[in-house]
Chain A
Amino acid sequence: MSTQSRWSTARGLWTRTGGTNTRSLTAYLVPAAVLLATAPALDIYTKMILTVSFIYGLTAVSIDLLWGYAGVLSYAHGALFGIGAYAVAITATSRGNGVLSTVVLGGAIGIVVACLVALAVGGLSFHSRADWLYVGVVSFAVPFIFERLVLAGGEVTGSSSGLSAFMQSVFKPNQWYLLTGIILLLVLSGATVLVRSDTGTLFKAIRENEIRCTYLGIRVNRVKGVLFTATAALTAFAGALLASSQNVVAPDLGGIMAATMMVIWVALGGRGTLVGPVIAAVVIDYVTAIVGAEFPFIWQLGLGVAFLLVVLYLPGGLMSLLRTPMAILSRRFRPAESDDRHADLVIRASDSETPPLNGDEPPVLTLRGVTCRFGSFTAVSEINLEAGAGEVVSIVGPNGAGKSTLMRCISNGTYRTAGSVHVGGQPIKQLSPARVAALGVSQKFQHASVFGALTVGECLRIAQARTVRPSLWRRDRVLTLPRSAVRVIEATGLSALLSERAEDLSHGQKQALELAMVMATDPKVVLLDEPTAGLSHEERTVLGDVFRLIASTEGKLVILVEHDLDFVREISSRILVLHQGQLLLDGSVEDVANSRLVQEIYTGTFDEQELADARES
């Protein structure tokens, strides 16, 4: 490659990756300069207190990343902080010398142990049967157990007295102050880069709508586990800094009170803003140190009241108070600015061709004896079905017939009670929705299930997350989506709405967006649960055409549950009639439309014996 083209490639990369994220890095240069400039003006005592406050700022970043962005509330990080601190203290005490190499060794041990604990806690918490309450409780148990273990640790951990005087002076207080301040700013920049990247968008998507993520094939538990462990490492690192700089550790460093304070800082500062929690942590810790001796109870009372008020009335915390002044400031600097995050987002259709069908392949979808029972109630019973590419299969039946349940049995391997489901010849066994999605199944839900706080462009990017890994540091400016998805986007006018937040869309636009997201995963089987519910006649016509095209041109198997029988008649190639969980009729549009039995079922005038006879056939 010539120098010229290398340079232009580099420039192209820079432009593509530049924008917000290099700005994120430089945004913190000014506060860094302020930190350095004001340092000489402060006295030692204040610097020592601020060193600790800065270190706690690091923990605020961890908690906010996990809670504010990914929606995982963790008390465990209090203990992880304590683990980092005690690792350094114990290592220094046992080696008898607190020099830099010991600190590094202790810190490394602390980080490793913290990560192991995080993996264990993650393993317990992040699995499909755990609800948020269980996660909270498990994480609540960790600091409790930490405190108990430290208290029982005798001479090794210093028990209730803690450990102290284990360090030889590695840095002077002045240096610690600057070091921790710079580290805090570096970590803040890094975290900002992360949250503004596509991975940050993924976290937000998980927080917004975890189920939607799962059905898009995203291994949500794995993402949470990784983030949990990464923040554990950061928090343990902060703990190691604390022990090294303060030369003292005590059990309450990692106990429940400490863990609670971390959560309170983030809540007060403003979840999901990074800067807010850091400011809150630094300010509150500093003030607590100063005021703590004079009026500790009033201060704690004030914090409690502030916390309660924030929870009740101001969930956005401090930063939401600043939003208005910030908006005014933004407009002053660039009056005509629009949100430039998506100004240059481009959607492209992928070039890949759908391989032509030659008739030898196994049917795209096979159901045998699929049954779904809830306790004594049978929702779906003994359904057999074979369907292939290019078909548009509609499932109809009165309410309670089991249509949505049947659909769920296809997209979620754990849902059914008996029978088997094969996708493209592969059995889905008991696979979770994410794994079934990887086999080529994608479901659109009845109530438009999208990511409200994300823009349309971001929703589409996340829809692709399984096949195109989100970057840890940049946003993709170009989305290459399957043709079918692009078709949906263009046909429904979404292409003009890429910068709109999903929650601001009309109902019809949301349905279209979800459909586009579903198609973005390039599935073999497209499950649509009442896709036209609440749409106008126009919108219905547009979508109907799209469904037909998806099936015929892109070779997908489209299965939809519908109530609008006219719509069904127009677009379907095949209709399944369900009644009380059983498959009554499986035939062409004419067969079903002309069936007297079907009419009777819908009007409720059927005869049980005829029904039974029909099932026999």
Chain B
Amino acid sequence: MNAGLVLDGLTTGGLFFIVTLGLLIVFGMMKLINFAHGAFLALGAYTCVLATSHGLPVWLPILLAPVVTGVVAAVVEPIVLRRLYGRPMDTLLATWGLNMIIIQLITLYFGRGTQPVKTVDLGAVDVFGTTYSLYRLLFIPVAVALGLSVALVLNKTRLGLVGRAVIMDENLAQISGINNTVVRFATFVFGSALAGLAGALLTPIASVDPNIGVPWLFAAFMISLLVGISPAALGVACVLLGMLQVLLASLWDPTIATLAVPVAVVLILRFFPQGFVKGARVS
């Protein structure tokens, strides 16, 4: 039983990670809380619906979803976000408006109900003395792979160097010849594409309806406030909070468990405004 609980916590943490990574990148790079993240999650999931209903094999939509979402983000960024540069509160409100619009458009076209979608059926495997869902187990390596890729790009590539320069000091970066506009554009597209990927990965375990992103969003916002732009810190935070939520749900009450993440984050931030990582947040 204990092994099952631990695996629950780890896989929940993995799922948190996958859902939050895109949000984190956008927040760290652009200092912007993207309230439209949930809508992009939904876009990814609905891409799978459309793709599988047209007979495409099950694994293809998982690759297609980030592309579709990335395209939408690429259209949206210059129209909505670019002119709000330097107005953080207005940007926050604008992404909220964007979220409303995208969700309502999805609802108008598909309806409020759940949509059928063909998904992988991997069944369960025996690990550590317990039988566990293979699909859920996959969250862990997927999260690790995504995290490593992002960390690699940030730390070992020129692109990442440019990104880190922008994070540290935008003005200086601009003077040094870096085109901030392009960097911000690319960041938003990439972060949103990650959201689309997360949405696609959710389809085997969630109901594909316009509100598919909602349960994850809140936790994702709170967690990304804690960890700046470090994928490693995000990993730690997600595992800890995932374990916390699972333990509370199993041993006490599921409703209290959903409170765990927001309350924990609010309290931690009160006493450690920088979050987990030193210098991660620039106020």
Q: Which of B240-283 contact A (CB under 8 A)?
A: 253, 255-256, 258-259, 262-263, 265-266, 269-270, 273, 283
Looking across the interface, which residue of chain B has its beta carbon closest to that of A150? B255
Q: Is there contact, CB below 8 Å, between A141 and B97?
A: no
Q: Does A260 contact B (CB under 8 A)?
A: yes
In the complex, what distance in Å separates the CA atom of A297 from the CA atom of B101? 10
Which chain A residues border B75 with CB–CB below 8 Å?
A: none
Could you tell me the distance in whole angstroms from the C-beta of A255 to the nearest C-beta in chain B?
11
Contact A133 B33 (CB under 8 A): yes
Cα A149 to Cα B88 in complex, Å, equals: 31
Q: Which of A134, A301, A303 contacts B105 (CB 8 A)?
A: A301
**Chain B residues numbered 192-225 whose CB sits less than 8 Å from any CB in chain A:** 218, 221-222, 225
Interface positions of A from 176 to 221, Cβ below 8 Å from B: none
For chain B, which range describes its interface: under 10, 10 to 19, 20 to 34, or 35 or more residues? 35 or more
**Partner of B283 from A131, A136, A152 at Cβ < 8 Å:** A131
Chain A: interface residue total (CB-CB under 8 A): 34
- Find B89's partner among A73, A303, A305, A307 (CB 8 Å cutoff): A73
Residues of B within 8 A of A112 (CB): none
- CB contacts (< 8 Å) of B96 on chain A: these are 260, 307
B97 touches A297 (CB 8 A): no
| CB pair B222 A137 closer than 8 Å | yes
- Asked whether B101 lies within 8 Å of A312 as measured between CB atoms, the reply is no
Please, which residue of chain A has its CB at the minimum distance from the CB of B274? A129
The answer, yes or no, to whether B172 is at the interface (CB within 8 Å) is no
Chain A interface, >50% SS class: helix
Q: A145-B263, A307-B100 are in contact. Are A136 and B92 (CB under 8 A)?
A: yes
**B149 proximal to A (CB < 8 A):** no
- Give the distance to chain B from A388, nearest Cβ to Cβ, in Å: 38
In chain A, positions 132-161 with a C-beta closer than 8 Å to chain B are 132-134, 136-138, 140-141, 144-145, 148-149, 151-152
Closest chain-B Cβ to A239's Cβ sits at a distance in Å of: 21
- B259 close to A303 (CB less than 8 A): no
The reply on A130 being an interface residue by CB < 8 A is yes
Are A141 and B283 in touch, CB under 8 angstroms?
no
28 contacts between A and B (CB under 8 A): A73-B89, A131-B283, A133-B33, A134-B225, A136-B89, A137-B222, A137-B269, A140-B221, A141-B265, A145-B262, A145-B263, A148-B255, A148-B259, A152-B256, A298-B108, A301-B105, A301-B108, A303-B100, A304-B97, A304-B98, A304-B100, A304-B101, A307-B97, A308-B94, A308-B97, A308-B98, A311-B84, A312-B84
Instruction: Identify 10 new A-B residue pairs, CB closer than 8 A, beyond the known A297-B107, A297-B108.
Output: A124-B266, A140-B221, A141-B222, A144-B262, A148-B258, A267-B93, A300-B100, A300-B104, A304-B101, A312-B84
For the complex of A and B, 5 pairs with smallest distance between CB atoms: A304-B100, A308-B97, A152-B255, A301-B104, A131-B283
Residues of A within 8 A of B (CB): 73, 124, 129-134, 136-138, 140-141, 144-145, 148-149, 151-152, 260, 263, 267, 297-298, 300-301, 303-305, 307-308, 311-312, 315
